Amino acid sequence: MNQTTPAIKVQNLTKSYMENNVLKGVSFTIQKGSIFALLGSNGAGKTTAVKILATLIQPDGGIVEIYGYDVVKQGKQVRRHISLTGQYAAVDEILTGRENLLIIGELRHLSNKKEQAAQLLESFRLTEAADKQVSKYSGGMRRRLDIAMSMMGKSPVVFLDEPTTGLDPQNRLAMWDIIKSMATAGITVFLTTQYLDEAECLADHIAILHEGVIIADGTSDQLKEKLPQGMMQLHFENEMDLKRAMELLSEYTVRNGEDKFAIDVQTDGGAKQFAEVLNRLNHENVAILKFAPKQPTLEDAFLTLIGEKNEEDTSHGT
């Protein structure tokens, strides 16, 4: 196989259920050994896309290839190259962690299943619990075991559909380390997530899926560059000042800030508009505890791009 062949290639992918057009011509390419994040709100079509790529459902149109194999015409070859971990841990609670891994090894006809199981138990910090029933595992342990099971056989492409949903912050960070180590080992990771900080931390390339269409893609920095520069963060002493400020700045794009009594205000980046915002609040005796320019985040980019798309759709419909 050509070394330049991408891990995943999707061109003009479409899928409908009755009159509901879920995917409306989705295209993207994922390079081998990279982490790709597909972002989108609930109902955007993320899980449908994953199911098609994993050969669980068939597309209505378009071309989808995994390591050069067509998911429709060459499903058997595709399944030899992929593993899928869904949103909910698919582990057998009656069995031990080790037994869960060994069963997967049996199904994949692995000659060294015991050795692989032992390695994965160590890598996923499950060695001490290896011979305990999974029913006694915590949620984080079950999730780690679920992903370890997907890696039995060392598939070159792993699909992780919202892998950290429901995990506490400590287990989320532990899962991030595992995902990074998978890419370091040369595995291509296809990640769907609702956590924008997760995508920003992990992904080499990000695509935003909105109402069945990719509305933007690129690195985290490239997506943030699409935003107008000039976000400023204002902090207030109480809720009354906060609400008054939002009323006075209603002509600007204003979002809740990171702190309880803080807001982010989008300006054009110029000194004149920056000063105008501060002067308007001072003139109305709204006390500002502190203010500072704010570097745009991936969340800012996501919300702005989704908002712009919604405005565009509304204008076309009138």
The reply to whether 154 and 284 lie within a common domain is no
* pLDDT exceeds cutoff 60 at 74: yes
The reply to whether 67 and 162 lie within a common domain is yes
3-state secondary structure of 288: strand
Q: Is residue 308 part of a domain?
A: no
* pLDDT exceeds cutoff 60 at 312: no
Last residue of a domain, one of 162, 189, 224: 224
Domain that holds residue 37: 8-224
The reply to whether 119 and 256 lie within a common domain is no
Give the chain's domain count. Answer: 2
For the residues 38-60, what does the mean pLDDT come to? Answer: 91
Q: Are 288 and 236 in contact (CB under 8 A)?
A: yes
Q: Is residue 306 part of a domain?
A: no
Share of residues in the chain with pLDDT > 70 (%): 93
Share of residues in the chain with pLDDT > 90 (%): 51
pLDDT at 206: 95
Q: Is residue 280 part of a domain?
A: yes
Q: Is residue 60 part of a domain?
A: yes
DSSP string covering 116-146, please? HHHHHHHHTT-STTTTSBGGGS-HHHHHHHH
Going by pLDDT thresholds of 50, 70 and 90, the confidence category of residue 14 is very high
Residue range 124-172, pLDDT digits in tens:
889 999 999 999 998 888 888 988 888 888 789 999 988 887 778 888 8
Going by pLDDT thresholds of 50, 70 and 90, the confidence category of residue 310 is low
Q: Is residue 80 part of a domain?
A: yes
* pLDDT exceeds cutoff 80 at 311: no
The reply to whether 84 and 118 lie within a common domain is yes
The reply to whether 45 and 112 lie within a common domain is yes
Last residue of a domain, one of 162, 190, 224: 224
The reply to whether 271 and 185 lie within a common domain is no
Residue range 207-222, pLDDT digits in tens:
999 989 999 899 988 8
Tell me how far the alpha carbon of residue 139 is from its chain's centroid. 20
User: Dihedral angle at the C-alpha atoms of 266, 269, 274, 275, nearest 10 degrees?
Assistant: -160
**Any idea which residue has 């500072």 for tokens?**
292
User: What's the rounded Cα separation, in Å, for the pair 299 and 184?
Assistant: 26
CATH number assigned to the domain comprising residue 276: 3.30.70
The reply to whether 164 and 238 lie within a common domain is no
The reply to whether 154 and 280 lie within a common domain is no
